[in-house]
Structure 1
Amino acid sequence: MGDWTNATPTSTTAGILRPEELAQRTTLERYAAGPGLQRWVENYWVLGWDLPPGTAHASQVLPHPACTLSVERGNPRPETQGQPVVLTGVVTRRFDVALTGQAWVLGVKFRPGGLASLTGQSARPWRDAVLPARAAVPDRVIDRLEQVGPDLAGKECVALAEDALASLVAPDHPNDDRYDRLLTVLDDMLTDRSIVQVTQLEDRHALSSRGLQRLFHHYVGVGPKWVLARYRMHDAVSALDGGWTGSLTDLAHAHGWYDQAHFIRDFTALVGVPPSQYRSRRV
């Protein structure tokens, strides 16, 4: 087994639209996964907010190609059937949540494919799904996660979550070579920005088109072309949030789009406004 400390280096705010606005209305803490779970878990986060009555904040995220387990206290979502531990699969569209009142969330962000590898299940049925986590995760894990809440410090909550998830990693847990291969492909996507076509990955990793598709659909829940496009869109949005001053044509070319028109169509379809409007914050 390799050292997965930085296997998928996506532990950033990439994907959060207008992160500075979210920071003004919430508190957010991130924690690294412990060494026993780094192969599957990317990080933990604790988000809390307490908004005055009658006010709301529209949180908008372009999610990563990863599943999340969350413990949610306050503002229950109808899909969760009142259960506090929630599984959110890979979301292929912009993910919008209205933050109101007072609430608290502990999130476990898995590496792409991590939850599927830990549970031995396919991630494909979880795509675009929000459901009670008991539908996919053993009760012993859920029972432990239900012990966390805002009355505990963030580090205590993370320690409890680590203990709960560690029960899935038995001493005789089989080495999942296919998952290791997936992580290697993902690492290339994230560290080599010159990769803008799936065929480049097929050639580099000696995988057929069908083989690569099956690998991604089982572990991640979506195909490799979608994942690559989402990472490049994260890069483009992060550049705009960081104060990009160049032309949109240069931005498009820098992140794999061959023409500005195609980039604008993709950006608008996902983010909801054209990149020029997003940059000027006129929404």
Structure 2
Amino acid sequence: MEPWVENYWQLRWDLPSDISYRSSTLPHPACTLSVEHGWTREGVVEPVVVTGVLTRRFDVVLAESGWVFGVKFRPGGYASFTGTVARNLRDVSVAPPTPFRAETVAALAELGGHLNADHCRTVVDSVLAPYARDVEPEYRTVLGIITTMLRDRTLVRVAQVEQRCAIGTRRLQRLFERYVGATPKWVLGRYRIHDAVSELDNGYSGPLADLAARYGWFDQAHFTREFTELVGMPPSAYQP
């Protein structure tokens, strides 16, 4: 599963009946396969769920008790692994996930909080292994572009990415629609917002206009608007 999966994660909670907790996650250009038992998020009625790329902050209220085991695919990984088109999953959750046979979904649904994370990972890898296919060259191209976007913080325009990766505009857009489910501009912007959040987390106390310009926002008001939409508060309130 290594060519397609970025990581596995597990979440467990048990709250008093009069207490709830809002969990918020910044959007990433990745699809997630999850097994969810106990308290479930709104709109989810089956335990095995695939959630496509979310273009907004992921907010969920946790209450009572519950357990989730998740498989976070690499950007483009779920589309490559299943042969699906990522844009069809943008901002939606599908349960049960249609590419998988009923017996696969049933085996995943049997996972639960009584099992440790390593055992769950072993089961997931085992039941998904029959779906593995050859890694297509176009997916490898997408991974290379994503890695370049993520690691090079000086890239703040899609045109820079195209030049660095020697790829045309139309082909880049087509690959991202097929594999990632979001536009190159959106992905690049989210990575740079994440970089700005990381700088603030690490104690950045300089002018916010300088921080915005460093990551491609020459209009501080635009930066503040996007930051607030994703993080839930303006950078001035987030800044230490």
TM over 0.5: yes
Q: Does 1:43 align with 2:3?
A: no
Q: Which region of structure 1 is more displaced relative to structure 2, 140-149 or 38-47? A: 140-149
Q: How does 1:185-264 map to 2 (within 5 A)?
A: 185-264=145-224
The amino acid across from 2:75 in the alignment is: P
Contact kept, 8 Å, 1:124 with 1:221, in 2: the verdict is: yes
- Aligned position for 1:167: 130
2 CA distance for matches of 1:131 and 1:113? Answer: 17
| Cα distance, 1:130 vs structure 2 | 1.4
- Between the aligned partners of 2:67 and 2:12, the Cα distance in structure 1 is 4
Distance 1:279 1:137, change over 3 A: farther
1:158 is displaced (CA, Å) by 1.1
The 5 Å alignment of 1:58-207 reads 58-80=22-44, 82-169=45-132, 173-207=133-167
Task: Flag the 1:77–1:261 CA change in 2: closer, same or farther, 3 A.
Answer: closer
Does 1:271 find its partner at 2:198?
no
Conservation of the 8 A alpha-carbon contact between 1:140 and 1:164: no
Deviation at 1:142, TM superposition (A): 1.8
Residue identity opposite 1:240 in structure 2? L
Q: Report the Cα offset of residue 241 of structure 1.
A: 2.7
User: Given residue 116 of structure 1, which amino acid in structure 2 is its aligned partner?
Assistant: A
Q: Quote the offset at 1:56 in angstroms.
A: 1.2
Aligned-partner residue type, residue 54 of structure 1: D
Letter in 2 for 1:253: A
3-state SS of 2:131 partner: coil
**What TM-score do the two structures reach when normalised by structure 1?**
0.80
1:217 and 1:223 in contact (8 A); partners too = yes
One-letter amino acid of the counterpart of residue 65, structure 1: P
Q: Distance in 1 between matches of 2:28 and 2:100?
A: 21
Q: Aligned pair count?
A: 240
1:275 deviation in Å? 0.9
Q: What code does the residue aligned with 1:90 have? A: V
3-state SS in 2 of match to 1:256? coil
Q: TM-score, normalised by structure 2?
A: 0.94
Residue segments in structure 2 that go unaligned for 5+ positions in a row: none
The aligned amino acid for 1:111 is R
User: Would the alpha carbon gap of residues 78 and 265 (structure 1) be closer, same or farther in structure 2, given more than 3 Å must change?
Assistant: closer
Question: What is the Cα deviation at residue 210 of structure 1?
Answer: 1.0
Residue 22 of structure 1 corresponds to which residue in structure 2? none
Superimposed CA distance per residue, residues 53-111 of structure 1 (whole angstroms, 9 cap, x where no aligned partner): 2111111111210000000011123423x210111110001111011111110000000
- For the residues of structure 1 that align with 2:143 and 2:87, how far apart are their CA atoms? 17
* Most deviating of 135-144 and 155-164: 135-144
Query: Once superposed, what is the RMSD of the aligned Cα atoms?
Result: 1.6
2:6 and 2:74 in contact (8 A); partners too: yes
Q: Quick one: which amino acid aligns to residue 73 of structure 2?
A: F
The Cα of 1:186 is off from its aligned counterpart by 0.4
User: Given the superposition, is the C-alpha separation of residues 53 and 168 from structure 1 closer, same or farther in structure 2, using an over 3 Å criterion?
Assistant: same
